[in-house]
Amino acid sequence: MRYITRQIIAPVINGLQDPFDAHMLEKRVLRLHPEAFARELLVYARTGDPLLQFSAHFAKRVDVMFRGQIRKTQKVFSDNLAGDSIKNQEWRRINPSVAVT
Protein backbone atom coordinates (compact mmCIF):
# COMPACT_ATOMS: atom_id res chain seq x y z
CA MET A 1 0.00 0.00 0.00
CA ARG A 2 1.47 3.28 -1.11
CA TYR A 3 -1.32 5.79 -0.58
CA ILE A 4 -3.34 4.41 2.31
CA THR A 5 -0.89 4.79 5.17
CA ARG A 6 -0.77 3.90 8.82
CA GLN A 7 -1.57 7.55 9.56
CA ILE A 8 -4.81 7.18 7.59
CA ILE A 9 -5.86 3.80 8.98
CA ALA A 10 -5.07 4.26 12.70
CA PRO A 11 -7.65 7.02 13.35
CA VAL A 12 -10.26 5.03 11.44
CA ILE A 13 -9.67 1.98 13.64
CA ASN A 14 -9.83 4.20 16.72
CA GLY A 15 -13.21 5.50 15.57
CA LEU A 16 -14.77 2.06 15.20
CA GLN A 17 -16.35 -0.09 17.89
CA ASP A 18 -14.93 -3.54 18.62
CA PRO A 19 -15.19 -5.86 16.87
CA PHE A 20 -14.59 -4.33 13.44
CA ASP A 21 -13.97 -5.91 10.08
CA ALA A 22 -12.04 -5.16 6.91
CA HIS A 23 -15.12 -3.96 5.03
CA MET A 24 -15.92 -1.43 7.77
CA LEU A 25 -12.38 -0.10 7.53
CA GLU A 26 -12.49 0.09 3.74
CA LYS A 27 -15.76 2.03 3.75
CA ARG A 28 -14.56 4.56 6.34
CA VAL A 29 -11.22 5.06 4.57
CA LEU A 30 -13.08 5.60 1.30
CA ARG A 31 -15.37 8.15 2.96
CA LEU A 32 -12.61 10.03 4.79
CA HIS A 33 -9.76 9.74 2.26
CA PRO A 34 -11.29 9.27 -1.20
CA GLU A 35 -8.22 10.43 -3.13
CA ALA A 36 -5.82 8.06 -1.37
CA PHE A 37 -8.37 5.27 -1.73
CA ALA A 38 -8.82 5.92 -5.46
CA ARG A 39 -5.08 5.98 -6.07
CA GLU A 40 -4.65 2.73 -4.17
CA LEU A 41 -7.51 1.05 -6.02
CA LEU A 42 -6.00 2.04 -9.37
CA VAL A 43 -2.97 -0.12 -8.56
CA TYR A 44 -5.32 -3.12 -8.97
CA ALA A 45 -7.11 -1.83 -12.08
CA ARG A 46 -5.64 -4.47 -14.38
CA THR A 47 -6.36 -7.45 -12.16
CA GLY A 48 -9.34 -9.72 -12.79
CA ASP A 49 -11.34 -8.20 -9.93
CA PRO A 50 -9.81 -4.92 -8.66
CA LEU A 51 -12.09 -4.59 -5.62
CA LEU A 52 -11.46 -8.16 -4.50
CA GLN A 53 -7.69 -7.86 -4.99
CA PHE A 54 -7.56 -4.51 -3.21
CA SER A 55 -9.66 -5.82 -0.32
CA ALA A 56 -7.49 -8.90 0.20
CA HIS A 57 -4.29 -6.87 0.16
CA PHE A 58 -5.79 -4.20 2.43
CA ALA A 59 -6.83 -6.72 5.11
CA LYS A 60 -3.41 -8.39 5.10
CA ARG A 61 -1.69 -5.01 5.33
CA VAL A 62 -3.87 -3.90 8.26
CA ASP A 63 -3.12 -7.15 10.08
CA VAL A 64 0.64 -6.69 9.68
CA MET A 65 0.64 -2.91 10.22
CA PHE A 66 -1.15 -3.10 13.57
CA ARG A 67 0.22 -6.41 14.87
CA GLY A 68 0.42 -6.25 18.64
CA GLN A 69 -2.40 -3.68 18.76
CA ILE A 70 -5.22 -5.66 17.13
CA ARG A 71 -5.92 -9.38 16.96
CA LYS A 72 -7.87 -11.50 14.52
CA THR A 73 -11.09 -12.91 15.88
CA GLN A 74 -12.88 -14.74 13.08
CA LYS A 75 -14.05 -14.47 9.51
CA VAL A 76 -17.43 -12.74 9.25
CA PHE A 77 -19.87 -11.97 6.49
CA SER A 78 -20.45 -8.33 5.62
CA ASP A 79 -21.13 -6.26 2.52
CA ASN A 80 -18.07 -5.32 0.52
CA LEU A 81 -17.78 -2.17 -1.60
CA ALA A 82 -19.62 -3.88 -4.45
CA GLY A 83 -22.56 -4.67 -2.15
CA ASP A 84 -21.86 -8.40 -2.02
CA SER A 85 -22.00 -10.15 1.35
CA ILE A 86 -18.75 -12.09 1.59
CA LYS A 87 -16.43 -13.40 4.29
CA ASN A 88 -13.74 -11.08 5.53
CA GLN A 89 -11.46 -10.63 8.52
CA GLU A 90 -12.73 -9.34 11.86
CA TRP A 91 -10.45 -7.88 14.56
CA ARG A 92 -10.53 -6.56 18.13
CA ARG A 93 -8.14 -4.13 19.74
CA ILE A 94 -5.85 -5.92 22.19
CA ASN A 95 -6.18 -3.03 24.64
CA PRO A 96 -9.40 -1.11 23.85
CA SER A 97 -8.50 1.71 26.25
CA VAL A 98 -5.34 2.56 24.25
CA ALA A 99 -5.53 4.15 20.80
CA VAL A 100 -3.78 2.28 18.00
CA THR A 101 -0.93 4.21 16.43
pLDDT digits (tens, 9 = 90+) for 40-83: 999 999 998 999 999 999 999 999 999 999 999 999 999 999 99
Question: Structural domain of residue 33, as residue ranges?
Answer: 6-93
Domain presence at residue 49:
yes
pTM, 2 dp: 0.94
Number of folded domains that form the chain: 1
d(CA 15, CA 85) in angstroms, rounded, equals: 23
**What mean pLDDT do residues 19-32 have?**
98
Q: Percent of the chain scored above 90 by pLDDT?
A: 97
Residue 99 lies in a domain: no
For the residues 32-39, what does the mean pLDDT come to? Answer: 98
d(CA 56, CA 78): 14
